[in-house]
Structure 1
Amino acid sequence: MIIARILPDLGKYATEVGLAYGVSLGLLALLIGQSLWKGRKIKQRLQQEEKARKGE
């Protein structure tokens, strides 16, 4: 298994370290998702504003 080669043997702390990695990656994924979602929303709003200005 590739992951076993990358991570050192953590002994009795393996569960805690694994959970910390999981939570960190999950939060990072949420942050990236939120940024992408907000960026799309702002882009749509900007396009609407540009259309409104051209229509004046």
Structure 2
Amino acid sequence: MMPDLGKYAVYVLSSYAVSIALIVALVALSVARARKVKRDLDRIEERVKNG
């Protein structure tokens, strides 16, 4: 159910869209960074084991 936003509907809905997009981008960047850090740590751990 959509509330009646009147003349501000465009502004409210666009701000929701921008907020959701930013949250999705932050989550994606965080996941990518976590994978990179894990990969780097695995490489370091492998070097320590072998060397």
Common fold: TM-score over 0.5 = yes
Question: What percent of counterpart residues are identical?
Answer: 39
Which 5+ residue runs of structure 1 have no aligned equivalent?
none
Give the Cα–Cα distance (whole angstroms) in 2 for the partners of residues 8 and 35 of structure 1.
Answer: 33
Q: Deviation at 1:8?
A: 1.2
With normalisation by structure 2, the TM-score equals 0.96
Q: 2:41 aligns with which of 35, 46, 49?
A: 46
The CA RMSD measured in Å over matched residues stands at: 0.6
Kindly report which structure 2 residues correspond to 1:1-56, keeping only aligned pairs within 5 A, or say none. Answer: 5=1, 7-56=2-51
Cα shift at 1:49: 0.3
Partner letter of residue 18 of structure 2?
V
Structure 2: stretches of 5+ with no match in the other structure: none
